[in-house]
Every structure is written in C-alpha cells, then in structure tokens.
Amino acid sequence: MEPLREDDPRSLGGFRVLALLAVGGMGRVYLALDADRRAVALKVARPEFAADPRFRARFRREVATGRGVGASGAGPGA
C-alpha cells in the first residue's frame, strides 16, 4: 500500500480514496471507503482500455464476480 500521489483521485463515484494498493498493465487499484465507511478496493482502468467494448464487458464480469466474494475472501457457499 502506498500513499496517494498528487495526480491520484481523492474521490471516485461516491467513494473516498485512501491509498494506492497496486498498479498494473490495465490500471490501478485503490483502497477506498464507501458511504457506510466500509473498506473496498476500487479498480480503475486505463483510458485506452476503458474505450474498448470487449474490455468493458470483461471488466463488468470481473466486478460481478468480485461482488460475490465476502469479507472473508471466500465466495458464497465456501
């Protein structure tokens, strides 16, 4: 985990961004708080990938899968 840099967002879509968790080829992952002050990981795609419809479809599937993972890190029924 790294502190935010000057060019990192401080908020995204109602989430308060706290720190940078990871940087990869597809984008960045931030530690953030939701409206109920729960910690979440926010993945932000690089603009050149976000413009690709196939990438967006894959990203939506990844989000749907991530929503099925509980706080323990285990999926439903695990």
Residue 74: its pLDDT value, please? 46
Residue 26: predicted pLDDT: 86
Are the C-beta atoms of residues 7 and 20 closer than 8 Å to each other?
no
Structural domain spans, the chain: 11-67
Q: Which fold has domain 11-67?
A: Phosphorylase Kinase; domain 1 (3.30.200)
Each residue's pLDDT, cut to its tens digit, for the chain (78 residues) gives 999 999 999 999 999 999 999 999 888 999 999 999 999 999 998 889 888 999 989 888 988 887 776 655 544 444
H helical segments located in the chain: 47-50, 53-67
Q: How many residues does the chain have?
A: 78
| The predicted structure's pLDDT at residue 59 | 85
Listed residue (59, 34, 33) closest to 46, CA to CA:
59
Asked whether the beta carbons of 19 and 42 are under 8 A apart, the reply is no
